[in-house]
Amino acid sequence: MNALSNGFIRKYGVIFGLVGIIIFFAIESPNYFFTPSNFILISKQSSINILLALGQMFVILTAGIDLSDGAIAGLVGAVAAGVTVTTGNLFLGLIAGLGVGIGFGIVNGIIVAFAKVPAFIATLATMSAITGITLIYTQGEPIWNLPSSFDFIGQGSLFDIPFSIILMALSFVVVWIILERTKYGRHVYAVGGNIKASRAAGVKISSVLISVYAISGLLAAIGGIILASRLGTAEPTAGSGYELDAIAAVVLGGTSLFGGEGWVVGTIIGGYIIAVLNNGMTIMNISAYYQEVVKGLVILLAVMLTSFGKKYWNE
Amino acid sequence: MTEILKINNICKSFSGVTVLKNINFSIQKGELHAIVGENGAGKSTLMKIIAGELEPDDGKIYLNGTEVKFHSPIDAIRAGISLIHQEFSLVPQLTVYENIFLGREISKKFLKINFIDKKAMKKAALEVLKTFGMLNISVDSKVKNLSVADKQLTEIAKALSTNSSILIMDEPTAALTLRETELLFSILKNLKAQGVTIIFISHRLEEIFEIADVVTVLRNGELVGTKKIDEITMEEVVSMMVGKSMKSRFPEKPIRAISDEKVLEVKNLSSDAFKNVNFVLHKGEILGIAGLVGCGNMQVGESIFGLRDFDGEIYLEGKRVDISKPTDAIKAGIFLVPEDRHDLGLVLQRSVKENHALPNLDLFSEFGFVSQKEEKQSVRASISYLNTKVSSINQRVDNLSGGNQQKIVLGKWLVRSPKILILDEPTRGIDIGAKYEIYKFMYDQALKGVSIILISSELAEVLSLSDRILVMSEGRITGELDPKNASQEDILKFAVKGKES
C-alpha cells in the first residue's frame, strides 16, 4: 500500500505538474502557445538539455553528480567545429568531438572510482579545467565558417521533424532500454542503492562507475554538437550553465540524489517542464531576468510538492 | 504493588489495516514487564502509543490512575515516560554529558547573557551515571567513540535525567555482546530497585526468563495474555506467540550420515581480526562457528567470501582457489548470507525481483538483455520454496519484515546451486516462525549436499543445528565440540578462553 502510493507520487506527480503548466499557458496564450508548431519548437529547445539530463541521470542513479557535462558540451562543440573546419571533413569532426566527450567522461569516472574523490568535487574540478581547455583551444574566439553539412545536425529536418528532436528521441529510447531491460542498467540502480551489497553480489563497481560518467560525457558531446550546429558557430562559453538545467530536469523527474531510484520518463518530463516554462514565459513577454526567478521557484515548489505528497501518502 | 500504567481498549489501524485490537493490560510500579510477539504483532506500535509517538484511534491510557492523552513524545517525557529506540537519538559528535542535556542545557548568566554551564552539566551527568551504576562511561567522551552498549547506557542516562519513572526499551540487547548484556541487566535490576518501571521488548526468550517479572504476549495485534514469569514456561510463551503449539523452537534434525568428502579446507588463515585458522568442511555438513561478538568468526566468514584481505590458503574440493573479491567466491559456488542484511545483503529501495536477480543476471540475460520471463520464473520459484510473504515481486524490499528480507537474501543464492553457504547470524532480528522456517531450509539444503558454515552467537541455535562446532575466542579457534554431548556452558568455556589472561 505504502510502497505503491509512495512510488506513485514520485513517479507520476511530475506528469500532473507538466500538464498543469501547459494548461496555464494554454489559457494565457491560446493563439501562440497552444499550437503544434510551438510544441515542436519546445521540443527543439529542450533537446540539448534533455540529452545532457539523460547522461546526468546515469550518474545521479549511482549517487554521484556530473557538474562537468555543460563544460564538456562546450569543449566538444568547439573541437567538432574546429576539426571539421581544419580538415574539411565533417565525419572526422564528429568523431573527434564524441571522443573528447567520452574521454573526459572516463577521466571523471576514474577520479571518482579509483581516486575516491567525491563526485561533486571531482566534477567541479574537471568542469573548471575543461572550461579552461576550451578557452585555450579556441583562444577565446568563436569558430566560424562551418560547412552546411555541420549545420544540418542542429538546424535540419528529416520527414519534417527537426533532426535534433530525432536524436533526442533515439537517445531516450536507447537509455530506456539500457536502464529498464539490461543487466548493465540493473547494476547502475543497484550500485546507487547499496554499493556494498552490490559488490557482495558480484557487481564490478569500478566499471559501473566509470561507464556512467563516460555515458554522461557521450550524451553531453551529442548535446554540444547540436548546440554548435544550431548556432552555426562554436562559442567558447556555449556550454556553461547547462549542467544545472540538466540536474534540475533529473531531480524534477523524481530521481533521488541519493541514488538507486529514478525513472527515465520522469527525466524527459522534467526537461519538458523547464522548456515549457522558458517558452511560455517568453511568449507572455516576461523579462528574461524574471524568468530565472520563476524557474527557480517552480523547481523548488515541484520538489517540495513531491516530498510533501510522499509524506501525505505514507501517513 | 501499585498499578502505575493501565492500557484500556487501545485500538490502532494504519490505512485500513488493524495493527492493534482492544489491548488491555496493566503494569505495576517497579516491575520489569517484557512484551513479546512475532514481528508484526504490534509491539512497537503499542510502545509508540504509550510513549506519545503515535495516537491511538480508540482507547485510554491511565497513568497513576488518571487518564493521560499524549500528542507528542514531549508530553510523554513530561509525564515521566521515555522510549529508547533501537536506533539511538544521540548526536555522535557531541560528548556524553552534552547528549544527556541536549535541548535542556544548564546555563549561567554572565552580563545578562545565558552561557552554557559545562561544569554544572558535567557534574549533573556524573550524578545520574553514579546513581544508576554506570560508572564505566566517561562523561567527556564523544558519543561516536563509544561502544554500542555504552551508547545505550548514555541513552538510558538521558532518559533518567528527565526523571522518567517508566522506561520503554525496544530490543535493547539486539546489538550487544553477552558481557554487555549482563552489564545492562545488572543496571536494569538496579533501576528496578530504585522504583523505575521498565517495559522491555525482546526477541530473545532466554533473556526474558532471566530478567523479567511479567510477560505480555501479543499476536497479530491482539493481546494473548499477561503472565507472571514464574508461572509460565518458555514453550508456553512460544505457543502463545505463534498461536499453535510448536514442540520446540527447532525442527527435528534429519538423521543422515555425513561423508568424509572434504569440500572446503582452510589453512593458516590470518588477518588483523583472526590468526591461524584451520578447519575442514565436509559435504552436506553444518559446521557451527560459535563465539562471542568480536571473536573473529564473522571476519573468517567474510574473508572466505572475498570481502576482506587475508593470508592463508583455501582449498575447494581439493584444489587451491584464490579468493580476493566476492566475484571469485561466487564463481567458486561459495555464498555469504551476511550478518547485516541491510548493509551487505540487499538494495533496500529496489524490488524483491531486482534483489533476487542481482547476482544472477548472467543466468537470465543474453547479450546483456534481461529475460523478463526467466527472471520472474526464478523469483517466483524461490519465493514459493522459502515461503516468502510478499505482496508482489515488484514490492520494495524495505517494506518487508526481517524474516522475509532474509529469505530474499537466501533465495538469491539458491539459484546458483551453492556448494557452500556461509550463514552469518542468519536468524538475527527475525521472528520465531521465520526462524523455524530458516532452520528447516538449512536442513533441506544440507540434505541436498550443500555444506553450511553457521556463524552464530546464539548458543542454542549453534548447538541444535550444527553437526560439529568450532569455538573461537580472540581470533583463534579454541575448541572443537560435538553438539551431541556438549552444553552451552562447554561452548562458553572455550569462547572466553584467553580472555582472562
pLDDT for B2-34, tens place per residue?
888 898 889 988 766 678 888 988 899 889 999
- Residue that has been written with the C-alpha cell 529514478 in this structure: A262
Residue A312: pLDDT over 60 = no
DSSP string, B213-273: SEEEEEETTEEEEEEEGGG--HHHHHHHHHSS--S-SSPPPPP-PPPS-EEEEEEEEE-SS
Residue A3: pLDDT over 50 = no
B188: region left, alpha or beta (phi > 0 left; psi from -120 to 50 alpha) = alpha
* B326 close to A (CB below 8 A): yes
Share above pLDDT 70 across residues of chain B, in percent, rounded to a whole number: 96
Distance from CA of B101 to the nearest CA of A (A): 31
The pLDDT, as a whole number, for residue B182 is 83
* B396 close to A (CB below 8 A): yes
CA angle A211, A212, A217 (to 5 degrees): 90
What mean pLDDT, rounded, does chain B reach?
86
- Model confidence at A5, pLDDT cuts 50, 70, 90, reads very low
CA atoms within 13 A of residue A41's CA, in its CB half-sphere: 14
Choice among A139-143, B112-116, B286-290 with the minimum mean pLDDT: B112-116
CB B159 within 8 A of CB B167: yes
Query: How far is residue B11's CA from residue B21's CA, in Å, rounded to a whole number?
Result: 5
Residue B500: pLDDT over 80 = no
Query: Which residues, listed in sequence order, are joined to residue B265 by a DSSP beta bridge?
Result: B280, B315
pLDDT for A119-172, tens place per residue?
999 999 999 999 999 999 988 888 888 888 888 887 888 888 888 999 999 999
Query: How far is residue B159's CA from residue B147's CA, in Å, rounded to a whole number?
Result: 19
- Model confidence at A197, pLDDT cuts 50, 70, 90, reads very high
Most distant CA pair in chain A: distance in Å? 64
| More confident position, B407 or A7 | B407
A232: region left, alpha or beta (phi > 0 left; psi from -120 to 50 alpha) = left
The mean pLDDT value for A195-207 works out to 91
Residue A67: pLDDT over 60 = yes
Distance from CA of B227 to the nearest CA of A (A): 34
The pLDDT, as a whole number, for residue A307 is 64
Residue B491, classed as helix, strand or coil, is helix
Residue A278: pLDDT over 60 = yes
Cross-chain residue pair B369–A183, CB shorter than 8 Å: yes
pLDDT for B295-319, tens place per residue?
889 999 999 999 999 999 999 999 9
Cross-chain residue pair B343–A184, CB shorter than 8 Å: no
pTM of this prediction?
0.79
Distance from CA of A10 to the nearest CA of B (A): 13
Q: Which residues of A touch B395 (CB under 8 A)?
A: 3
Choice among A65-74, A109-118, A230-239 with the minimum mean pLDDT: A230-239
Residue A89: pLDDT over 90 = no
B261: region left, alpha or beta (phi > 0 left; psi from -120 to 50 alpha) = beta
Residue of B326, B336, B361 with shortest CB distance to A183: B361
Helix or strand (DSSP H, E) at B372: helix B372-386
The pLDDT, as a whole number, for residue B336 is 94
| More confident position, B72 or B496 | B72
The pLDDT, as a whole number, for residue A264 is 93
Q: Which residues of A touch B302 (CB under 8 A)?
A: none
The pLDDT, as a whole number, for residue B1 is 67
Query: How far is residue A186's CA from residue B364's CA, in Å, rounded to a whole number?
Result: 12
| More confident position, B248 or A282 | A282
Cross-chain residue pair B15–A2, CB shorter than 8 Å: yes
The mean pLDDT value for B144-169 works out to 83
B167: region left, alpha or beta (phi > 0 left; psi from -120 to 50 alpha) = beta
The pLDDT, as a whole number, for residue A2 is 43
* B373 close to A (CB below 8 A): no
| More confident position, A10 or A61 | A61
Query: What ipTM is given for this predicted complex?
Result: 0.82
Distance from CA of B109 to the nearest CA of A (A): 41
Query: How far is residue B30's CA from residue B36's CA, in Å, rounded to a whole number?
Result: 19
Residue of B338, B345, B370 with shortest CB distance to A186: B370
Per DSSP, which regions of B97-162 are E strands?
Answer: 107-110, 113-116
Q: How many CB atoms lie within 10 A of CB B212?
A: 23
* B110 close to A (CB below 8 A): no
* B226 close to A (CB below 8 A): no
What mean pLDDT, rounded, does chain A reach?
87
Query: Which residues, listed in sequence order, are joined to residue B116 by a DSSP beta bridge?
Result: B107
DSSP string, chain A: -HHHHHHHHHHHHHHHHHHHHHHHHHHH-TTTTSSHHHHHHHHHHHHHHHHHHHHHHHHHHTT---TTHHHHHHHHHHHHHHHHHHH--HHHHHHHHHHHHHHHHHHHHHHHHTS---HHHHHHHHHHHHHHHHHHHHTT--B----HHHHHHHH-EETTEEHHHHHHHHHHHHHHHHHHHBHHHHHHHHHHH-HHHHHHTT--HHHHHHHHHHHHHHHHHHHHHHHHHHHTSB-TTTTTTHHHHHHHHHHHTT--TTSS---HHHHHHHHHHHHHHHHHHHHTT--HHHHHHHHHHHHHHHHHHHHHHHHHHH-
Choice among A164-173, B157-166, B437-446 with the minimum mean pLDDT: B157-166
